Structure 1
Amino acid sequence: MSNHEVSKVFYRGKSHEFMVVVQSPQDYRRYRKDPSVPLVDVLNSFKVFVTRAGTQGIIDEASRSMLENEFGTKNQDEIIRKVLRDGEFQEQKYTYKTNYDSTNDTMGARVAH
């Protein structure tokens, strides 16, 4: 089993919740103290997502028209900065099992004769 942490910032808009994924809680805190920190040092990706059915629901990439209607701009950096500044930080831990188990351990190497 493997543990994986995901750090996200949620922004509650007029009609949708938006989300960006940050690299770590430390990077997010550093940005909050100093907004001049480059976004590339904070974000996991430069995508803004929209959640459906709350913060634990389905997540899709937000469309340009959805972002422009909510934030009044198409500038992705401005939108991300607003989400980071006014959003709510959330960290989740996921545990999952990998499917890389061997299925032929007892048969040994087989050679065609």
Structure 2
Amino acid sequence: MPRGNRELPKVIYKGTEDDWTVMVDSVEDLEKWKTDPTIPLAQVVSSFNVFVTYRQGVTGLLNVAPKFELENEFGTSNTDIVISKILREGKVEKVVNTERQGITNVTEGAMVSH
């Protein structure tokens, strides 16, 4: 698959202080999981990381949330429980990772003939 131009779905949960994000493989798998509790969570999420934006909104930088912050927001640091809550109560957002443009080798320096 070429770099870029790939849909990257994520689920965003608005917490009391911050926005929490979980990356999913596909919206279709997420919807199936919501209706069928026998589907393993591993078949839905891209990773078992919960991300936080530190009040930068949904377009802010995503940082892996520390366990103490999960505990403060969700009452547990168990990532399976936190991820399940975010997937059930959050909002799906689809982002297209656009193809990279421009020079990819910055070591070329100035491209001027001498």
C-alpha deviation, 1:36, in angstroms: 3.0
Which is higher, the Rg of structure 1 or of structure 2? 1
The structure with the greater share of residues assigned to strand is 1
| 1:97 counterpart SS class | coil
After TM superposition, the structure 1 = structure 2 runs for residues 55-66 of structure 1, keeping only pairs within 5 Å, are: 55-66=58-69
Q: Distance in 1 between matches of 2:21 and 2:27?
A: 15
Which aligned segments of 4 or more residues in structure 1 are displaced greater than 3 angstroms?
A: none
So what's the TM-score if we normalise by structure 2?
A: 0.81
Show the counterpart of 2:21: 19
Q: Where do 5+ consecutive residues of structure 2 fail to align?
A: 109-114
Q: Distance in 2 between matches of 1:38 and 1:90?
A: 22
Show the counterpart of 1:51: 53
Q: Where do 5+ consecutive residues of structure 1 fail to align?
A: 104-113
- 1:94 is aligned to 2:106: no
Count of residue pairs brought into register by the alignment: 101
Show the counterpart of 1:75: 78
Deviations 1:51-78 (A, max 9, x none): 1311011110001110000000121100
Matching residue within 13, 28, 33 for 2:35: 33
C-alpha deviation, 1:86, in angstroms: 0.5
